[in-house]
Homo-oligomer: A and B are copies of this chain.
Amino acid sequence: MKLIQLYASMRSELQSIEDEMARTVTSDLPILSETSLHLLKAGGKRLRPVVVLLSGKFGNYSLETLKKIAVPLELIHMATLVHDDVIDDADTRRGQLTVKSKWDNRIAMYTGDYIYAKALTVITELDKPRIHQILSGAIVQMCIGEMEQIRDFFNIEQSVRNYLKRIRRKTALLIAISCRLGAMATDAPPRISNTLYTFGYNVGMAFQITDDLLDICGTEKAIGKPPGSDLRQGNISLPVLFALQDPAIRDPLLDEIKRIRAQEGQADSSAAVKLVRSSEGIGRAEKLADRYIAKAVKALESLPDIPAKRNLADIARFVAKRSY
């Protein structure tokens, strides 16, 4: 099934999640509703809600229950985006002004805190302590991942392993627990929720690598922000690390990175982007993303043969091919 058909087939469920998200972040303080709804309206792939719903098909599917997982997980993802934008000094995301640029850093920080807290009010309606423990543990790991990213800014000596460990925390874990919690909330057996976790983890790894590739290879129109933004702020991603291992590229790329660093976020990174594009880094990073996708699809094998299983495989394959 093509992805657009899958989304179409889930339209009413996804709409109900969208409505619930809007209801959740609406506050009696206009500025908070405004900033939060601004973020919601910017849209997104809603990858986390989609995998929550599909994972819920392996248990006693209940949209009402799954909403209480999908809504907080997507909101937590959004809260991290607002905080990232403060850190990254980003002006646009998904083609829209960021909260920190439309309002200011202070408002962006508290908007993130608020959305995050609101997410918790929804998930705490579920009477399953294990779910809360898994979620809070994952959020801790995400924060560590964010901090590692700052620590590793402009660190050209970092290993690929270091990069993978960081994106595991920063991105893959939340997608992995989206799958696990969707299955747990609907009382699927542990064997299934663990398998779905493995699936989500591998999809998440591929997702972040693809995101990092898009930052180098995408067009501003497609990715909603200028290409090379990661590099400009010092985020050394996988294609860059691989490019640095390419003997034809290493020295000129090092010079460019040095120059970018000296200009503290104000540099033009297009020369560096061009170098990475022309290197082996792109192909090698794509290959690694494909390997994670293959692992994700393989993890699904042991699951019962229901339509959701094929849908998840479609999503995995889409993640590696996406251009936005």
Chain A residues close to B by CB (< 8 Å):
27-29, 31-32, 83, 86-87, 105-107, 109-111, 113-114, 116-118, 120-121, 124-127, 129, 132-133, 135-137, 139-140, 142-144, 146-148, 150-151
Contacts and interface: CB of A to CB of B under 8 A. Distances in A.
27 contacts: A31-B147, A31-B151, A32-B143, A83-B109, A83-B110, A86-B105, A86-B106, A87-B109, A105-B105, A107-B147, A111-B147, A113-B116, A113-B143, A113-B146, A114-B140, A117-B136, A120-B132, A120-B135, A120-B136, A120-B139, A121-B136, A121-B137, A124-B132, A124-B135, A124-B136, A127-B129, A132-B132
Assembly of this chain: how many copies? 2
Contact of A125 (B114, B125, B133): B133
A140 B117 contact: yes
A129 B132 CA distance: 10
Contacts of A109: 83, 86-87, 109
A82 to B, nearest CB: 10
A116 B146 CA distance: 14
Contact of A121 (B113, B114, B120, B140): B140
A132 B127 CA distance: 10
A interface SS class: helix
B114 A32 contact: no
A140 to B, nearest CB: 4
Contacts of A107: 147, 150
Nearest to A87: B106
Contacts of A31: 147, 151
A118 B121 CA distance: 17
Contacts of A87: 106, 109-110
Given A106-B150, A113-B146, A114-B147, 7 more contacts: A29-B147, A31-B147, A32-B147, A83-B110, A87-B106, A110-B143, A111-B147
- Centre residue among A133, A139, A140, A144 by max chain B CB count within 10 A: A140
Nearest to A127: B129
Contacts of A86: 105-106, 109
A117 B139 contact: yes
Contacts of A148: 29
B121 A143 contact: no
Contacts of A27: 144
A236 to B, nearest CB: 17
